[in-house]
Structure 1
Amino acid sequence: MPDLQSRELEIRYEASDQFVPILQHLNATLLVSTYKLGRVAVLQPGVSSSGNGKLSVQFRAFPQAMGIAVSPDRLAIGTSRSVWQFERPRGVAIPDRDGRLSKVAYLPRRQHITGNISIHEMAWQVDELWAVNTLFSCLCTFDDSHNFVPRWKPTFISHLRPEDRCHLNGLAMGPSGPTYVSALGQGDRQGSWRDDKLNGGCLLDVASSEVVLAGLAMPHSPRIHDGHLWYLHSGHGELNRVDLQSGQSETIDRVPGYTRGLSFAGQFAFVGMSQIRETNVFGGLPIGQNLDALRCGVAVVDLVSGRSVAWFQFKCDVEEVFAVEVVPNSTPLVLHSPTLEDDDKEVWVVPPLPS
């Protein structure tokens, strides 16, 4: 159970025996954002003094870190008032804190000021970054002239207003653009999603604006994977799969946490888990009936067996997880903060001088 000092903050964590072997098998790194703590955790296999695999955990500071979008060449992290974009320089290996040369390095390149739009999930559609703008109840993109560019809103939302009317929160990206979103309600007035947190949630088809599923308890993180629509039924702590032809929803596994943040790699689903403390927001949910058993971390669900086979857990100071993103074929990975932290060294990537 390691202890980590990060800017005078002690963060304690532990992982099950199979967590690191699964990351090693996938040759993957896991990025986990925690908005109240203001950190993005970088979880990957490390090397112990005995040469055996151990878990390497590094924390990067971002104010109110929420959505994370990963592509082969880019990374984006949504924060309280801006979106940071990172690029992966090809042919450049940067040492990590253990002295290993990185296979993947994401370096900060630009910051886009959004203002406080309560940004939630984000995803890349080729080179274009889409985001869930929760405060304005819409999907948006970004350009150089505006804080955000509204691109889509649910048909039941009459006007773009900074009122968080339906708590739009999750985004499933397909090859041609956004396909499904999740929302906690279908109301059209400020904060109306709070009226029915137990049954007001829904999944929406972006192209048709039709409701795919309704009557949900605070759903999050819709995804398209292996030809199916998946989502997290957060109020029940479930990972669910939808048969799009029949419209039926099937529970694949239930984990001990408020589920939010979902990513797939190989036969595994990585599911974010949070504890719930704020009764004004989470009161009355089914998952709240056993608060002491709830964990904050990541559960690894084997999609073949339909059960959890590994987990990572924060032990103190961290009560919530927002985004969980797998970066495949990336070990070791280096993520540089916009500002240098701890033992970071300055890095310059420059082209050769013209001859």
Structure 2
Amino acid sequence: MSSLYQLWRFENALEPGQIHQGYDALYVPQVGYITGDLDIHDLVLQRELNNTQKLVFVNTLFSCLATVSETHSFIPLWQPPFISKLAAEDRCHLNGLALQDGKSKYVTVISQSDVAEGWRDKRVDGGCVIDVENNEVILTGLSMPHSPRWYRDKLWLLNSGRGEFGYADLERGVFEPVTFCPGYQRGLAFHGDFTVVGISRPRHNKTFSGLPLDEQLQAKNAEPRCGLLVIDLRSGDVVHSLRLEGVVEELYDVAVLPGIRRPMAIGFRTDEIRRVITIGASEI
């Protein structure tokens, strides 16, 4: 999980079948890194040749994929072919990252710009998908794309500026919309024949104004909302939804925790974190 200037790995402190105050999972921050404010977006665990895992994250500020370092803020791993310099300028607003066969394979960007914050002028139709392995742009014409995910031999993603959940037809190089979502989409997770999409209320600033999503909502006489949508992949229908109201107006990502019904997490400001202690395998 990323915060403003940190990355944290949470571990479930409960054993299988154990319950804590009615919760069947208790996530505790276990390992952290101070990265500085990199505007980190998607995070993945990439499988390495020695059967280990490497944390790879989207470093949006520097327009690159990166990993953590024991001595520095980050280590650059890859950058889009049109980016000419590693600079803290958020040139293309690189945001989404998808694994395929355990490797970083596809990313989404808001535009192919190579100047500081150049993506802001291309929000309507400048978005694209890049094949990381081949260093090639494979899909263009998107509006604020996010959350690419490889699932059941398809590349799914959110065309957020138009409110569309769909998939990329890689042979034809086109995006195929499946479901309209009444909100600004970020976050996509799959389970069986269903997907969970996170939607947000737009911020009242230039980043979210003037997008095709506004026209779509108006045409459907709908208001943007914050919450979760469960979509049946077989029909494209929204079969369940959850609205979040109050202070929470935005979501960035969603995750499915199979077999867990009621999880909880504890933070640094609680007394509880002082008393949740787990013991690893003894080497005595």
Change (3 A) 1:95 1:198: same
- 1:79 maps to what in 2? 3
- Contact 1:235–1:285 (8 Å) recurs in 2: yes
- 1:106 maps to what in 2? 27
User: What pairs up with 1:275-354 in 2 under 5 angstroms?
Assistant: 275-289=201-215, 290=217, 293-340=223-270, 346-351=275-280
- 1:22 maps to what in 2? none
Amino acid at match of 1:186: Q
SS in structure 1 at match of 2:207: helix
Amino acid at match of 1:167: H
Deviation at 1:94, TM superposition (A): 5.6
- 2:50 maps to what in 1? none
Change (3 A) 1:154 1:332: same
Change (3 A) 1:317 1:351: closer
Distance 1:345 1:141 in 2: 29
Distance 2:176 2:23 in 1: 43
Residue of 247, 256, 259 corresponding to 2:182: 256
Residue of 197, 215, 221 corresponding to 1:271: 197
Distance 1:156 1:319 in 2: 34
The more displaced of 241-250 and 111-120 is: 241-250
How many equivalent residue pairs? 275
Deviation at 1:312, TM superposition (A): 0.8
Distance 1:210 1:353 in 2: 48
> How does the TM-score come out when normalised to structure 2?
0.90
Change (3 A) 1:354 1:296: closer
Deviation at 1:279, TM superposition (A): 3.4
Change (3 A) 1:106 1:279: closer
Distance 1:120 1:234 in 2: 15
Deviation at 1:92, TM superposition (A): 6.5
Deviation at 1:89, TM superposition (A): 4.8
> How does the TM-score come out when normalised to structure 1?
0.73
Residue of 93, 105, 121 corresponding to 2:42: 121
Change (3 A) 1:352 1:209: closer
- 2:99 maps to what in 1? 173
| Structure 1, unaligned runs of 5 or more | 1-76
User: What pairs up with 1:227-242 in 2 under 5 angstroms?
Assistant: 227-242=153-168
Distance 1:249 1:296 in 2: 24
Change (3 A) 1:344 1:285: same
- 1:52 maps to what in 2? none
Deviations 1:112-135 (A, max 9, x none): 000000000111114211100000
Distance 1:246 1:347 in 2: 53
Residue of 127, 147, 152 corresponding to 2:73: 147
Deviation at 1:306, TM superposition (A): 1.0
SS in structure 1 at match of 2:206: helix
Deviation at 1:301, TM superposition (A): 0.4
Identity in percent: 39
- 1:133 maps to what in 2? 59
- Contact 1:282–1:288 (8 Å) recurs in 2: no
SS in structure 1 at match of 2:214: helix
Q: Which has the higher contact order (CA 8 A, sep 6+)?
A: 1
Q: Which has more strand, going by share of residues?
A: 1
User: What pairs up with 1:12-51 in 2 under 5 angstroms?
Assistant: none
Distance 1:297 1:160 in 2: 35
SS in structure 1 at match of 2:255: strand
| Structure 2, unaligned runs of 5 or more | 48-52
Deviation at 1:250, TM superposition (A): 1.2
- Contact 1:89–1:106 (8 Å) recurs in 2: yes
- Contact 1:184–1:193 (8 Å) recurs in 2: yes
Distance 2:33 2:157 in 1: 29
The more displaced of 184-193 and 120-129 is: 120-129
Distance 1:101 1:257 in 2: 31
